[in-house]
Amino acid sequence: MKIVCIGRNYADHAKEMGNKVPDEPVVFIKPDSALLRNNNPFYVPAFTNEVHYELELVVRIDKNGKSIPKQFAKDYYSSMALGIDFTARDLQQKLKEKGLPWEKAKGFDYSACISPFVPVVKNMQDVNFEMHKNGSPVQVGHTADMIHEVDEIIAYVSQYFMLKTGDYIFTGTPAGVGPVSVGDLFEGYLQGEKLLSCAIK
Ligand code: MG
């Protein structure tokens, strides 16, 4: 199982990070050891002083496929969830400056928090989601604002990486990312329903 993630997929987030909006999806992968499930807490690792939360819509692949045409992408997933792409921003910044890969900053243990899944909706580009930090909204997202739509992401990614049953796709974060602190509680709402809860320890 692999966790495929898309970076800079919302223009307002790319802007807040000082990044250009990319022509093609920015793709990276987290290993299976990054999974954090069942609303378990997140423990801040010792190698970073600045972990950011990034709330993202996640889909689960339920059929193997390679080079999937966009018009058939819908056949390859039937459930969605919320995820937090935990990012060691200080480490990522250092790696970016040196032109090195992001893996250590993005794929570390338990950096991919995923909520329980719910069935997908007919129009995946009409899904709203929100992150609340200690009870107040910090990210308000709508999939209509994605630069690359879910089906386009599946088509693009599967040219390079065969998608297999059980893989997860993180589809990018809207603006409003920020640092986590020990004691914080993050709660994610998908279409108004609370699906995700993650305490920072
Ligand atoms: Mg992300």
Q: Write b or e for each residue in 138-153: b if 16 or more Cβ atoms lie within 10 A of its Cβ, otherwise e.
A: bbebebeebbbbbbeb
CB atoms within 10 A of CB 170: 28
Task: Check if the beta carbon of residue 176 is closer than 8 Å to that of residue 140.
Answer: yes
What pLDDT is recorded for position 20? Answer: 86
Evaluate if residue 135 carries a pLDDT over 90: yes
CA of 27 to the centre of ligand 1 (A): 10
pLDDT value of position 169:
98
With b for 16 or more beta-carbon neighbours within 10 A and e for fewer, the 156-169 pattern comes to bbbeeeebeeebbb
Q: How far is the CA of 6 from the centre of ligand 1 (A)?
A: 6
What does each C-alpha distance from 74 to 11, 63, 103, 172, 190 come to in angstroms?
A: 24, 11, 29, 18, 19
112: CA distance to ligand 1 center in Å? Answer: 10
pLDDT digits (tens, 9 = 90+) for 36-70: 999 999 999 999 999 999 999 999 999 999 999 99
In angstroms, what is the span from residue 188 Cα to ligand 1's centroid?
15
Q: Is 85 left (phi over 0), alpha (psi -120 to 50) or beta?
A: beta
Ligand 1 centroid to 129 CA: how many Å?
Answer: 15
Tens-place pLDDT, residues 1-21: 999 999 999 999 988 999 888
Determine the Cα–Cα distance for residues 174 and 176; give it in Å rounded to an integer: 7
pLDDT single digits (tens) 75-109: 999 999 999 999 999 999 999 999 999 999 999 99
User: Residue 159: enclosing H or E segment and its boundaries?
Assistant: helix 150-160
User: What's the pLDDT tens digit per position in 147-188?
Assistant: 999 999 999 999 999 999 999 999 999 999 999 999 999 999
Q: Given this model, what pLDDT does residue 21 score?
A: 85
Distance of CA 54 from the midpoint of ligand 1 (Å)? 6
Q: Which domains does the chain have, with CATH numbers?
A: 3-199 (3.90.850.10)
**Ligand 1 centre distance from Cα of residue 174 (Å):** 9
Please give the model's pTM, rounded to 2 decimal places: 0.97
How does the average pLDDT of the chain come out, rounded? Answer: 97
Whose structure tokens read 């329980």? 116
Query: From the CA of 173, how far away is ligand 1's center (Å)?
Result: 5
Instruction: Report the number of secondary-structure helices (H) and strands (E) in the chain.
Output: 4, 15
HSE toward the beta carbon, residue 177, CA cutoff 13 A: 27
Per-residue pLDDT at 23:
87
Q: How far is the CA of 69 from the centre of ligand 1 (A)?
A: 24
Tell how far the Cα of 5 is from the centroid of ligand 1, in angstroms.
Answer: 7
φ and ψ at residue 97, rounded to 5 degrees:
-60, -35
On whether the CB atoms of residues 103 and 87 are closer than 8 A, the answer is: no
For residues 48 and 123, give the distance between their C-alpha atoms in angstroms, rounded to a whole number.
38
